[in-house]
Amino acid sequence: MLRALYTFLIIAALSAIAIWLADNPGELVMHWRGYEIRTSFVIGVAAMALAAFLALFIYRIIVSFIETPASVSAFLEKRRQQKGFLALSRGMVAVAAGDAGDAKRYAAQAHKLLDAPPLTLLLAAQAAQLEGDEAGATTYFEQMLAAPETEFLGLRGLFIQARRAGDRDRALAHARRAFELRPQTPWAAQAVFEIEAAEEDWDGALKTLDRVVAAKLIPRDDGRRRRAVLLAAKAMTAEEAARAQTGEARDAALSRAAKLAGEAVSLEPQFAPVVALAARLHAATGKLRKGMKLIEEAWKAEPHPDLADVWLDMIEGETGYDRAERARALAARHPGHVESRVLEARGAILARDWAGARNALSVYAGPGASEAPTQRICELMAEIEEGEFGDRGAARGWLTRALHAPEDPQWSGAGYRAHRWSPINPATGEFDGLSWTVPATAPAASFEAAEPAETEALAAPVEAAEDAAPEADAAAEKPSEVLVFRPPLPDDPGPDDEADGASEEARGERKW
């Protein structure tokens, strides 16, 4: 409605102007070179408008004629870019599909048609990688370093190439350069940190960690854990170095190691390997009470064999009775836990308190046992049998049973497991890559199934147990060996009736 009204108003205004001009035609006179031209005002204005239109038309024709080559060039350039981006797209699809031939062909086309080095060089490098031409891929990535806009991309590619080739030095150099170029990039920061840690450059890794935390690339909890592990690693290195020194130099090295371990414990007070390390170093530097307090607090939170090992050996020249008393005192801080029972049994064995050792393990190896004994408990029971009664047959039976028993937790990681913690996974170089868990290759033994097997084993000869015992000893001597596969285990023969009868007089009346 409004549009129709506006149109009507415009037509009315034009009509009014036309009527006014008709009523007032006027006269337009022009003198030029002795000529006089007379016409009405309306016709004169129309003639001038026509002349202006013709001049503008001629001007546009001339300008178009002049711009034609540039227009043709722009058209051809646009067409070339379209073909280049089409080749680039097809090349990326070929790379994703794993077609090395098409990827290389389209990469060449895109590089020829497009003036876009970041995209074309990347496609060419990926095509070379897909084809297995590592040298060619490296060349393309090196070409990217020449331009600021492609330098970081080239460093990323060169880092990957060096890592695939196993050249850790070159990988670290490229990662460091990329980290300096863009400190906020997670992959560069992580790569520098991991390689420095794998090379045991603890000081360098600590500096890198500070920058990573400052850039907020990892949570603060993760940063605290990493710092604790790095400080513990430095303390372990210092402790190792102290062994080769004597006198005041050795004491100074141990003090530095103890200080580093103490800082690590302040960051992770419940991490057993760090606490055990700090306690051992405090004991070595004369701060026995401080080391014992660390273990007591950590044991109360979560018992661990690493803590027990250090606890039993903290006081040199201690009698077996005193050591057993300390073991019972620490076990009382977390009663009922399997590690507390094992610690109490170990202390009792050192004091030759066989009844106390049996009582500590009765939950797992007594007549009313409610849980299956693990390999470590079976080995302790073998030690008790031989130590109390001199019954080597029963001891070998327990050692043979250990072959079938569930495994105890170990420090496990990718391709590696051991009883001793390490800040680096020796098999892969992964930082803090070990966790305290039962290895995945452990046999699925159940306590319910062990009872009938033990009953049938009473008829087997002792000689079979003797043949199986060396296997258990070999397994105990090499706890840190990487297990590629598990060999088949022999059946559990156990002690025979004759051996039981022969040793009955020696062992007297046995409780169980």
More confident residue, 10 or 112: 10
Check pLDDT > 60 for residue 409: yes
The pLDDT, as a whole number, for residue 111 is: 67
Picking from 146-150, 182-186, 275-279, 491-495, which range would have the lowest pLDDT averaged per residue? Answer: 491-495
Q: Are 358 and 346 in contact (CB under 8 A)?
A: no
Residue 441: which pLDDT band, with cuts at 50, 70 and 90?
low
What does the pLDDT look like over 383-396, one tens digit per residue?
999 998 888 999 99
In whole angstroms, give the CA distance from residue 371 to residue 382.
Answer: 18
Q: Are 228 and 271 in contact (CB under 8 A)?
A: yes
pTM given for the model = 0.67
Radius of gyration of the chain (CA): 43
Q: Are 111 and 137 in contact (CB under 8 A)?
A: no
Phi/psi at 29 (nearest 5 deg)? -120, 135
The DSSP string of 93-139 is HHHHHT-HHHHHHHHHHHHHH---HHHHHHHHHHHHHHHT-HHHHHH
DSSP state of 413: E
Residue 290: which pLDDT band, with cuts at 50, 70 and 90?
very high
What does the pLDDT look like over 187-232, one tens digit per residue?
999 999 999 999 999 999 999 999 999 999 999 999 999 999 999 9
More confident residue, 47 or 301: 301
Picking from 25-34, 423-432, 438-447, 501-510, which range would have the lowest pLDDT averaged per residue? Answer: 501-510
Distance of CA 236 to the CA centre of its chain: 22
Provide the mean pLDDT of the chain: 80
Q: Which residue type is seen at 421?
A: W
> Looking at beta carbons, which pairs linking 429-436 to residues 24 or more positions away fall under 8 Å?
429/194, 429/198, 430/194, 430/198, 431/193, 431/194, 431/197, 431/198, 431/226, 431/229, 432/225, 432/226, 432/229, 435/411, 436/272, 436/304, 436/409, 436/410, 436/411, 436/412
More confident residue, 494 or 186: 186
The pLDDT, as a whole number, for residue 498 is: 40
The pLDDT, as a whole number, for residue 277 is: 96
Q: Are 234 and 202 in contact (CB under 8 A)?
A: yes
The pLDDT, as a whole number, for residue 365 is: 85
Check pLDDT > 80 for residue 374: yes
